[in-house]
Amino acid sequence: MEAEQILERLIQTDSVFGNEEKIGRYLESLLVKMGFKTQRQHIAEGRFNIFAERAGEGSPILFYGHMDTVVPHGRWKHGPLNMAREGDRMYGLGACDMKGGISAMLSAVSNCRPRGVKVLLCADEENISQGAWAAIRKKEWFKDISLIVSCEAGDSKKHTGGANIVTVGRRGRVVIEADVYGLSAHGANPQRGVNAINEASKIVQNTDLFKLRIHRNLGSETIFVRCMEGKSKSALDLPDRAHLEFDIQLVPPSSIKDAKYRVESMVKSMKARKILDSRTEVTVAVKKRPTPYIEPYENSTKNAKIKAVLSVIRKNLGEPVINYGSSVADDNIFANALDIPIVTIGPEGGNEHAPNEWVSRRSLEDLEKVYCNLIGSF
């Protein structure tokens, strides 16, 4: 099948995270027809990862993709599950992120032999990456792999994918929560207490005191308030507790632990400057979730395997563009957990996580060519 045919079928298949079973069955059937041996890794009821391998010469390349999409947002011109064509653009939910890349990869591996190839397709990337965190537990399966190629579009401030765009690093992410404790008092005499909501508001207004790091390639970290909650417990009670959550995008050498320390330091600085009431107490913690948060990573372009990838692109499409992703992806998990070079090369597109997501037909053709040449000559 051609990439465009596969893409149309994938877009028609609803695979919002948590609902990956149907698309997983379809992709598994395609891989079997292409001569791959497949095995499933159970994630949850009706949810699984697909590990596939086809024997051939040399150490295999691993192609990675995630099967899920986000929930469709806003109003779509053609409907999120109906692939529409307008000129070079093909529209549909997940067209760019990342059903387009999966389609080009499957078309490439079906036509290019005899090199050994492995394919890993995971669930839940658009949520909390349950699939990727489960996948890395099968360390033996990864031992013979020479290179990981993620088929995701490497988003950054300058680019959203393209067959000549090679992403070699990404920022990380963590959510830090802060509980702000004031002092309850009768609302008729608020001066006798400390309003926790007011104190939390002061923290929000002074997040510029958070020490952002700047990386030479990944740029600056960012921080924003993703949650603020608090209320009186009963009529005329001064609110004595408020809750804040900070979403922080990290760059090397920052870590999850380090981000928590810097939020604590930010609060201490506000107290020292008397921005906060001396009676206010603040506790800071990493917000709990079922899977770990994701650390940043950067691979060196001097790595021999990555230099070989750049050479393949140079021969086929001209000078490659080195890119650094502004958002986290499952790529971070593999880069930090496995001692294997990883590059992200996906199709050109736009409007990911937004209405009228699209992918370029020409870009899919170029991408398939690059994937084929990586399989044949890497």
Spell out the SS3 assignment of the chain: CCHHHHHHHHHHCCCECCCCHHHHHHHHHHHHHCCCEEEEEEEECCEEEEEEEECCEEEEEEEEEECCECCCCCCCCCCCCCCEEECCEEECCCHHHHHHHHHHHHHHHHHCCCEEEEEEEECCCCCCCHHHHHHCCCHHHHCCCCEEEECCCCECCCCECCCCEEEEEECEEEEEEEEEECECCECCCHHHCECHHHHHHHHHHCHHHCCCCEECCCEECEEEEEEEEECCCCCCECCCEEEEEEEEEECCCCCHHHHHHHHHHHHHHHHHCCCCCCCCEEEEEECCCCCCCECCEECCCCCHHHHHHHHHHHHHHCCCEEEEECCCCHHHHHHHHCCCCEEECCCCEECCCCCCCEEEHHHHHHHHHHHHHHHHHC
Q: How confident is the model at residue 138 (pLDDT cuts 50, 70, 90)?
A: very high
Distance CA 238, CA 189 (A): 9
pLDDT score recorded for residue 159: 75
Domains and CATH numbers, the chain: 3-170+296-377 (3.40.630.10), 172-286 (3.30.70.360)
pLDDT digits (tens, 9 = 90+) for 338-357: 999 999 999 999 999 999 99
pLDDT of 156 reads: 74
Higher pLDDT, 15 or 156: 15
pLDDT surpasses 90 at 236: no
Q: What mean pLDDT comes out for the span 79-96? A: 96
Burial class (CB in 10 A: 0-12, 13-18, 19+), 371: buried
Q: State the distance between the two ends of the chain, measured CA to CA, in whole angstroms.
A: 24
Note the pLDDT tens digit of each residue in 89-118. 999 999 999 999 999 999 999 988 767 899
* pLDDT given at position 158: 77
For residue 169, which of 325, 48, 366 has the smallest C-alpha distance?
325
C-beta of residue 241 within 8 angstroms of C-beta of residue 297: no
| Cβ atoms of residues 378 and 98 within 8 Å | no
Show the tokens assigned to 6. Answer: 């596969």
User: In whole angstroms, what is the distance from residue 23 CA to residue 40 CA?
Assistant: 13
Query: Average pLDDT of 281-292?
Result: 97
Residue 87: its pLDDT value, please? Answer: 96
Phi, psi of 161 (to 5 degrees): 80, 175
Mean pLDDT for 187-215 is: 96
Strands 84-86 and 89-91: what pairing?
antiparallel
How much is the pLDDT for 157? 74
At residue 194, does pLDDT exceed 90?
Answer: yes
The mean per-residue pLDDT over the stretch 302-317 comes to: 95
Residue with tokens 């509980």: 179
Above pLDDT 90, what percent of the chain? Answer: 92
**What is the overall mean pLDDT for the chain?**
95
Does pLDDT of 377 surpass 80? no
pLDDT at 303 over 70: yes
Position 158, amino acid:
K
Mean pLDDT of 291-315: 96
Q: How confident is the model at residue 63 (pLDDT cuts 50, 70, 90)?
A: very high
The band of 161, judged by pLDDT with boundaries at 50, 70 and 90, is: confident
| Cα distances (Å, whole numbers) of residue 238 to 12, 183, 187, 196, 242 | 53, 8, 5, 8, 11
> Phi, psi (5° rounding) for residue 269?
-65, -40
Average confidence (pLDDT) over 286-314: 96
pLDDT grade for 378, boundaries at 50, 70 and 90: low
pLDDT exceeds 70 at position 257: yes
